[in-house]
Amino acid sequence: MGARIGFIRKKVQSFTFGERIKKIRSERCLSFSEISKHTGIQTKYLQAFEDGDHASLPALVYVHGFLRSYAKYLEEDPEKFIALFEREREIATHLAPQEISKNAPHTIFSHKIISFPFRWLAFLGGFFLFAIVIVYIYNEIFHFVTEPTFLLSSPLENMSVNEPFVSVEGKTDISTKVFLNDQSILVDEWGNFSERVDIGKGKNVLVFRAVNSFDKDVEKIVTVFGNWGQEFTQDQKNQQEKKTFFLETSEGEDVKFSLQIDEEVVREEVLLGGERREYEAQTFFVISAQDGSRIQMSLGDEIFTPLTEIPEEVIEKKFLLQE
């Protein structure tokens, strides 16, 4: 009887892109926070890479930039990283419609929607109408119990001007009246106001007051110096030369941004989670960030406000300190 020939099956292990970078990171004992600090990639995107969660990643042009930075930090081949990621993304893109079609439930409820379209549309219309009424009532109550919003972009506190006038610009709530030293300022239908106001030489105290339709008001006082035809001591000049502003971010992930102060060279900086940092500028400063909603800025006695209210918005803002 002849000998039996057998075959031994071996399982060939093949790592996905996410499994591979997770293995490299684990072997080098690297945390998401540490990688984010050196590469500027947010930790949620690092997690999405490892999980293969393509839907949570930003636009492809940003993804390729992230992968190049990530590969260089891990001392890997950037093009190989991008090629492997693209291959898996293509596979995921082609499989997604098939999976959705295969797993889509065919319930009695779905047939009822098809059978009674007018009833379903009437339900949706009623729901949205109800939601609009609730939002309207909420806004009315909110404005009744709160002070009006009043944002003054010009003039800034302790601003020096070389002309006998200053530009007053800002924004407030719709239907809110604005007064400067008890004189009314014109506000348009969107809540914007812009007006040129005469000032005298030396120190000028401008008292702004915004009053909404519920008689709730907010007051803001700004000091402006009229400098035309005046001589100042060196101490007064030095006091007007530099103004202090602060940048901070909330607890959590670090934030990478670019900053230019006056005519200096643009520099890249990172705000750690919960950090507050102080700067000085003479005439202007420019802030650029990929996620402007995570950076708050204050100037003088202003409270901290985000650069933008829109999450993950790429933004660049210039702030003028003197006219």
Residue 166 CB: number of other CB atoms within 10 A?
A: 22
Query: Which ranges of the chain have pLDDT less than 50?
Result: 1-2, 5-8, 10-12, 99-101, 103-115, 232
Region for 289 from its dihedrals, namely left if φ exceeds 0, alpha if ψ lies in -120 to 50, beta otherwise: beta
**CB-based contacts of 273, cutoff 8 Å, min separation 6:** 249, 250, 251, 252, 253, 254
Give yes or no for a contact between 21 and 70, defined as CB atoms under 8 angstroms apart: yes
Give yes or no for a contact between 49 and 83, defined as CB atoms under 8 angstroms apart: no
DSSP state for residue 52 in the 8-state scheme: T
CATH H superfamily, domain 150-239: Immunoglobulins (2.60.40.10)
Task: For residue range 20-63, list pLDDT tens digits in order.
Answer: 888 888 888 888 888 888 888 888 988 988 888 888 888 888 88
Q: State residue 178's pLDDT score.
A: 92
Q: State residue 142's pLDDT score.
A: 61
Q: Do domains 17-102 and 150-239 have the same CATH topology?
A: no
DSSP H or E segment with residue 109:
helix 108-115
Which CATH number applies to 17-102: 1.10.260.40, 3.50.50.60, 2.40.10.500, 3.40.50.80?
A: 1.10.260.40
Q: State residue 11's pLDDT score.
A: 45
Task: For residue range 130-153, list pLDDT tens digits in order.
Answer: 889 888 887 766 655 678 888 888
3-state secondary structure of 171: strand
Q: State residue 45's pLDDT score.
A: 87
Domain ranges for the chain, please list them: 17-102, 108-145, 150-239, 242-320
Give yes or no for a contact between 21 and 75, defined as CB atoms under 8 angstroms apart: no
Please tell me whether the overall predicted TM-score, pTM, comes out greater than 0.85 for this model.
no
